[in-house]
Amino acid sequence: MLTHTTSRVLEPSDLDAALAVLGREPVANAFVTSRVQVAGLDPWRLGGEMWGWYESGMLTSLCYAGANLVPICATPRAVRAFADRARRAGRRCSSIVGPAEPTSQLWRLLEPHWGPARDVRAHQPLMVTDRMPADITPDPYVRRVRKDEMETILPACVAMFTEEVGVSPLAGDGGLLYQARVAELVGTGRSFARLDDHGRVVFKAEIGAATRDACQIQGVWVAPEYRGMGVAAPGMAAVLRYALADVAPVVSLYVNDFNTPARRTYRRVGFQEVGAFMSVLF
């Protein structure tokens, strides 16, 4: 038993304690919780290390260190310890993302060593709902993407990612990891789209993270030629209906604060702001 203040890389035997920390904020932690519930804490299966911070022998804070660096329930002292560990290890992640306050503190400590960032999105509203909207009819043409439709949905996913992040997901490894992630979401029935009469994607979104307590919608995209035509709100309502019926009782998402049309759409569908995330992109 650890009896002092310290940080260390967690091991598979620490799973229950880690899940207890993650469970304190089920909405904010949905992304990491969903990975841990599937893969445990083995770094090879998890796709990264889980760092733990102990206060008086009790695990109180976490930090996922994989493709993303994600502080979880991180106190200021924990953030300092995680920043020191990250600095010594060197940058291996493509982003730092998480609740705005600890993520901002983490970036302030790492920026002298890892900066400059390609982009810093300091305030990304975290939005939540647990019910269907009363005045938006779900789009009846939004449905689950079939496994034989990968060639149809992938270009829309690439377009969304490039628009949102500013770089193509096909760079580096030729897009192998990204294509595998899209295929995973399609294969698990968490990819949704509306196609036009020519089989082209009009609207799409995914349920990217899912636990029994909460899930997270991501990758919302409307084809440019259909923007401003009232497609997004009914499409989101359709995905929300699937999410509440089949996945979790609470549905969340986070959005860039400068994306006024998207925020307006999400509010129309019933999402309410409950906090904020921050993303640092490299």
Which residues of the chain form beta strands (DSSP E)? 6-9, 49-55, 58-65, 68-72, 95-99, 119-129, 143-144, 191-195, 201-210, 215-222, 251-254, 272-281
Q: Which CATH superfamily is domain 142-275 in?
A: Gcn5-related N-acetyltransferase (GNAT) (3.40.630.30)
pLDDT number for residue 97 = 98
Instruction: Give the model confidence (pLDDT) of 135-183 as tens digits.
Output: 999 999 999 999 999 999 999 999 999 999 989 999 878 889 999 999 9
Structure tokens at 259: 């994306």
The predicted pLDDT at position 171 comes to 83
Report the pLDDT value the prediction gives residue 175, as an integer from 0 to 100.
85
* Mean pLDDT of all residues in 51-56: 96
Q: 24 and 38 in contact (C-beta within 8 Å)?
A: no
Task: Please check the confidence at residue 1 and state whether its pLDDT lies above 70.
Answer: no
Decide: residue 148, CB within 10 A, 0-12 exposed, 13-18 middle, 19+ buried.
exposed
Q: Is the pLDDT of residue 35 over 60?
A: yes
The model's pLDDT over 99-122, given as tens digits with 9 standing for 90+, comes to: 999 999 999 999 999 989 999 999
3/170: higher pLDDT: 170
**In which region does residue 83 sit, left (phi positive, over 0), alpha (psi from -120 to 50) or beta (all else)?**
alpha
**Pairing of β 143-144 and β 119-129:** unpaired
pLDDT score of 133 more than 60: yes
CB 21 within 8 A of CB 99: no
Q: 10 Å Cβ neighbour count for 206?
A: 26
With H, G, I as helix, E, B as strand and everything else as coil, classify residue 74: coil
Give CA–CA dist 209/251, Å, rounded.
10
How is the chain split into domains, by residue range? 5-116, 142-275
Residue 3 has pLDDT above 60, yes or no: no
What's the whole-number average pLDDT of the chain? 96
d(C-alpha 71, C-alpha 100), whole Å? 10
State the angle between helix axes of 176-187 and 150-165 in degrees (0 to 180), rounded to the nearest 10. 120
- The encoded tokens of residue 197 equal 């009469």
Instruction: Look up the CATH architecture of domain 5-116.
Output: 3-Layer(aba) Sandwich (3.40)
In the beta sheet, which residues pair with residue 96? 69, 280
What is the amino acid identity at position 39?
A: A
For residues 151 and 135, what is the distance between their CA atoms, to the nearest angstrom? 34
